[in-house]
Amino acid sequence: MARFDPVGVTGRRLRKARKTTFRRIAKVKKTTIGRIKGAKQRARGRALGIQGNILDPFN
């Protein structure tokens, strides 16, 4: 995604806002957020057919 792509930038901004609101609502610690985000990314990778990080036991 190009950095100057306005659509992508707004998408990223929305995602960031959503993350912060989620953190505020759920009252979860940052590490938990990280774990959730990692799981999400892994799921996205699996959907694309990429077998995540080799060192990662969950792929």
pLDDT of residue 59: 46
pLDDT of residue 49: 61
pLDDT in tens, the chain (59 residues): 455 555 555 555 556 666 666 666 666 666 676 777 777 777 776 666 655 555 555 54
Do residues 23 and 33 touch, judged by C-beta distance below 8 A?
A: yes
Q: What is the residue extent of each domain of the chain?
A: 6-48
pLDDT of residue 42: 73
pLDDT of residue 38: 73
pLDDT of residue 36: 73
CA dihedral (8, 15, 50, 43) in degrees, to 10, reads -160
